[in-house]
Amino acid sequence: MGFVKSYEEIAKAYRETGEFYDAEMLAVVWETKPEIVARLLPPPLKPSSRPLALAFVANYPRTNFGVTYLEAALFLRAELNGEAGVYCLSMPVTNDMAMAGGREVYGYPKKIARIELNRNGQDVEGWAERHGVRFFEIRAKLTGKFNVEGAQNTFSEILSGNGESVVVAYNFKHFPAPEGGAFDYHPRLIREEVEFRPSSIEGGEAEIVMKPSDFDPWAEVEVVKLLGAIHTKGNNSMQKGKVVAEADPAEFAPYAFLKWDM
């Protein structure tokens, strides 16, 4: 093992999919304002018929790529050519290799953060913090009763891409040019699927707190109606991604700072 790898080492490290074993996740869904979704989605992504936001805190204790870490994420419901999915606004993690892999391969806007996820009986809480600001905190009581009746149907809709337990994620992959003032290449829209195989699913009422932060502005996605939370345990598979569109650099530039504290 060294700075230059042999082809045998490269082949040994290759993984067809990213596998997450015994993953634990606490997710919450809410309705926000349509104008917020419209303002935050870069073209060619379009808002879905319902202005939904999804956030989670997760613990990945074992993977097939040798990295264990915690993760949080904020998504908006979006569509591309009529196919529903989610667009990732932010994905803090606790491990540098998890950050590099997600950003450089799929375009996920990852940053290093402090993250916690804890459960005590029916009570589950999780939070994410950077620069001394706990910008996202979720608490749920897993009684089976949601904040809004029928919230389980919304979760099922989001987690059932292609009729399976699959979430379609959209991210833009882009890097600044070394000369400055432009991109290395036209920003590429990546479509990627994550398959969920939960061994347990529990629902409940949730409350979230989002504190304003210049570096992690999750509070910008205003909560109009909180629907509820689900807590899951099980195995997940991250599939290969695919470039499905390119964005005009000038048009995309205002949306290009999700990965940076600036």
Q: Where exactly are the structural domains of the chain?
A: 16-255
Residue 219 is predicted with a pLDDT of 98
Please name the helix (run of DSSP H) or strand (run of DSSP E) that holds residue 47, with its range, or none.
Answer: strand 46-47
Using DSSP's 3-state secondary structure scheme, residue 134 falls into: strand
Residue 262 is predicted with a pLDDT of 79
The two structure tokens encoding residue 109: 């806007």
Cβ burial, residue 181 (10 Å; 0-12/13-18/19+): exposed
Query: Which architecture does CATH list for 16-255?
Result: Beta Barrel (2.40)
| Residue 48 near residue 79 (C-beta atoms within 8 A) | yes
The two structure tokens encoding residue 238: 């991250």
Residue 51 is predicted with a pLDDT of 97
Using DSSP's 3-state secondary structure scheme, residue 215 falls into: coil
Residue 43 is predicted with a pLDDT of 96
| Distance of alpha carbon 57 from alpha carbon 162, whole angstroms | 24
In order along its 262 residues, the chain shows pLDDT tens digits of 789 999 999 999 899 999 999 999 999 999 999 999 999 999 999 999 999 999 999 999 999 999 999 999 999 999 999 999 999 999 999 999 999 999 999 999 999 999 999 999 999 999 999 999 999 999 999 999 999 998 989 988 887 654 458 999 999 999 999 988 789 999 999 999 999 999 999 999 999 999 999 999 999 999 999 999 999 999 999 999 999 999 999 999 999 999 999 7
Residue 189 is predicted with a pLDDT of 98
Residue 159 is predicted with a pLDDT of 75
| Residue 31 near residue 47 (C-beta atoms within 8 A) | no
1's CB contacts (< 8 A; 6+ apart) are: 9
Nearest to 218 by CA among 104, 89, 124, 100: 89
